[in-house]
Amino acid sequence: MLKGIDPLLSADLLYAIARMGHGDVLAVVDRNYPAHAAGVEVITLPGIDVTRLAEALFTVFPVDTFIPEPIGRMQVVGEPDTLPEVQRELFAAAETAEGREIGIEPIERFEFYERARSAFAVIATTDDRPYGCFLITKGVV
C-alpha cells in the first residue's frame, strides 16, 4: 500500500511505466481496440474509462517536452478533424497535470495500429466511447 498515489495506479501499471525511459511510448486504448494484437505488454483496467485513467496517470507520468506532438490520437474514420469528447478529456487532463499546452498528433486508424505495435506497453481501459486511443510519449522529470 502506498500513500499519495491514486489507487487506480495498480502495481502492474506502476511497474510498467517506471520501467519506461524518456521517449518510450505508452498506448492508452478503449475497449474496442484489439490490445493483445499489438504484441506488447497489456495492462487491463476493468471498469475504468480513459478520462479516469488519464487523471490518475498524469499525476505520475511526465509527457515529453522535446517533441512538438507527444500525444497521438486515433483519427475518426472519415472525419479526421473531429475531436470526440473522450479525446478532449484526455488532452485536458494532460494539460492540467503538465501546466502547459501539449501538441497533439492525429494518426490515421491503421497507422495507429502499426505504431502501437512498437509501444512499450498498452493500457486497456473498458471505456466504450469510440476513438479513445492514444500514443503518449514519456518525458523526463
Question: Which one of the listed residues 6, 19, 22, 126 is annotated catalytic?
Answer: 22
Contact 45, 123 (CB under 8 A): yes
Phi first, then psi, for residue 44 (nearest 5°) are -95, 135
Burial tier of 10 (Cβ tally within 10 Å: 0-12, 13-18, 19+): middle
Contact 90, 51 (CB under 8 A): yes
Among this protein's residues, is 36 annotated catalytic? no
By annotation, the residues acting in catalysis are 22
